[in-house]
Structure 1
Amino acid sequence: MTLHVSAAETLLRRRRTALSHALAAVAIFLCITSLLAQPAAASSRLKDITKIEGVRENQLIGYGLVVGLPGSGDRAQNALFTEQSVRSMLERFGVALDADQILQTRNVAAVMVTAALPGFSRAGDKIDVTVSALGDARSLQGGTLLVTPLTAADGNVYAVAQGQLIIGGFQAQGAAGSISRGVPTQGRVPEGATVERELAFPINDLDTVRLILKNPDFTTANRIASAIDNRLSGRFARAIDLATVEVQVPSDYRGEVTTMLADLESVDIETDEVARVVVDESSGTIVIGNNVRVSPVAIAHGNITIRISERPIPSQPSPFSRVGETVVVPRTDIQVEEDLGNGFRVIEPNVTLQELVDGLNAMGVTPRDMISILQTIKSSGALQAELVVQ
């Protein structure tokens, strides 16, 4: 049987082949273009790796009372300060109490109130507060925090807190037992404190601004100084140490330091880091940095398995004998097996992170065993990185 192919069909096949080749060429071109367009190294914005010296939070603390508890507050005989606080509060409202009268404070709990005052906070701003029981209260569920002044380390009042508590845990108790979830003796009051006093920080009047690195490193500090000089078109920045970069405010930005910082925040910095391996022995977690290198070293990984089984055998006297008794004779079976794994593995010079992990995984190493291997490699001097064991 003879097959006849028309000229039109032949032309159609040629066009399809040419089209497929063209699409393949375009795909290869796009892949090469995307690879060339990728950055050589990861970079971070200046605002993400540094902070401004002097711009920070300030911790506030206060002592207060939580009322409205359904009988889960402090007991008077165990928390005498709660009763004294209630007496003082009632006397300020003109309520006279006998000195020998014992107050029942099961609906009241003494608490410590803490908060963080952000930098550049203004009078009238709202901040969150955390409320923690101070006495033997079982739960703060359903309580309301009364007006509580919050002071800083200098003794001045910077905020006043008050509001309904939000508890993340709960506690239920019955005649035969109780159950609890979370921490019912701690809660929060979102936007429960009002800022009454401001912390003055005239940042626009500064002639010099210092940037503090969140991860100190000499190389990163010098790169930050160079990037700032390029953005400001001059020599205005210098690395004082591995954690501090000092920037002289140019004349164009005098009185407008915030504008200068806004212009510098988006500068991309190629960060560097110390080669480090962090090991958490309690959880078996291992974190290996990207710059970790291993010198030539041979590793042998093996396990010894010991199996002990008990197979007691009963021993009985002969039939119709008048002496002897049935006893159980212990029989212990001990087997020792040594798994040599894959024997010795030689690690080549300048092994990268991926190659190290792939090699250890190929040997069937578990995270627990990998911790011991890394510690041994470090002891031999072949691990060119800092080993941090937590």
Structure 2
Amino acid sequence: MKRTVSPLSIFFLVLALSFCGCSLPQDPLESNKPLNPEDTIGSVAKYYATDPIPVRGIGIVACLSGTGSSECPPEIRAELEKYIWQEIPEGGSVSPRRVIESQDTAVVEITGVIGALSTPIDPFDVVLRPLSSTQTTSLDGGCLYTTELKEMSRLSSVEQFARFSKTLAVAEGPVYTVQTDASSPRQWRVLGGGRAIQNSFVRLILDTPDFTTANAIRNRINERFGPKTAISVSTAEITLSFPVKYLEQRERFLAMVETLILGGNPEILSNYAHQLIKQILSNTDSEQAEIALEGIGKPALDPLAPLLAHFDPAVRFHAGRCMLNIGDSRPLAVLRRIVQDKNSPYRLDAIRAVGLSAKRREAMPILEAALNDSDIQIRLKSYEMLARINSHVISGRSVSNGAFSVDSVMCSGPKTIYVYRQETPRIVLFGSPLRCEKNIFIQSEKSSVTINSLPGDKRISISRKHPNRPRVIGPLLSNNDLSILIQTLGERPDTKSDTAARPGLAVPYSEILDIIKTMCEQGAISAQFIAGPQAELEPVLQK
């Protein structure tokens, strides 16, 4: 059973537990009470993890076109100047005061939420708000300088917040503008701009502190998942680390740990496996039974194998996914048929299982075939799994120093443009190459970007009004390949000559999405445009 607690509560919990016993050595300990080898870890211990943690910081958005403000509250100015001095390379000539007082910069509040069980490799979105006491009018097109994020607290002053709150994450990156319609106020975010600076902890806390039980739990976990997955801290506490195999399935790993039985005797494991298989056959807590069988590991494969031919598709699915996760490729044919069955409720789960657990050469044919499906969710999940194994059917372009990416996917099925609007900004072109029509004339909102080609033109002309000067940038020329056009829009104009990137117009990601949507609506691109969901941060941050 999972318990989530605040970091402060954890501090007092661990402090109290430290009096229950000294640290356990990593060699077997003398038993001090009888151990029931058929007990599961979840029956004698509970795991604790931090809740999602709201974080906050004060930083600077630069690269604004005169829409910033030179105003900054004195107490914030002092802390910002101190931080800028710390970040300037030795010998640098940047003046912190001039940075803050520029009309092309703005002092902002940054808020975000570090997810439960997160690691430094997990990005999260952050929300930017200009300080209400300043005259900043817009953050469009800006870039957030690296900013420390601390746990939200009740400390009243900025000085107290900066001095006494612990830094938990950092945030940086290009600003993304959110506006649901023309009449709604604009909001600003950095998609995937936040990253925790350390791993979230997970601790197993024994219901009753005991040397023997703690030692057995540690040994059983390490026997199944590898050395140092579990480390004993005391008679009451064990810390857990996520195995590499389960970094993308952290909750499943924790659920699996709870189902492990303390004894590793072959006869006990066999009896446990047959008990769990009966649950799957009767459709009684099949998901939980499958996870427990995966925890048993290879001894569960032979009892599971006959279930692959069962008449019930639910039984076939749970048996197949479990066997594949353990490392057996026999269920691939079963999972392939599930993926192909348009009426199966297990299609997405089967695709994810194949993508995460099958060998690359065995996974690719199944996933590539699913790209041709008419269901966008099936195509997306297949694309995501293929992207993680570097499939040759996906060709990617990183734009503007990694500000966002464009992935062209070779497949049949409906031509579709799917755009991600949270965590990892990217544009996915299904049915590549997607090409723009000839004889087009497109202007963005406020006519800041113009895309134009006449019937006989071999190239598309793209120009942009300079954000803060009375002149036009461009025109730059692009062919009618949409991925090249997007790169021309988004790439920076000062691209170095020794790179493969083409110079571009530095159009912000949010504006590029609006342009692509307009092009689809006006028939300049023969494809369906789908905008992915945006993270719902406001309700969490307001708690």
TM-score, normalising length: structure 2? 0.25
Which structure shows the higher strand fraction? 1
Pick the structure with greater CA Rg.
1
Which structure shows the higher helix fraction? 2
Q: Which has the higher contact order (CA 8 A, sep 6+)?
A: 1
TM-score, normalising length: structure 1? 0.34
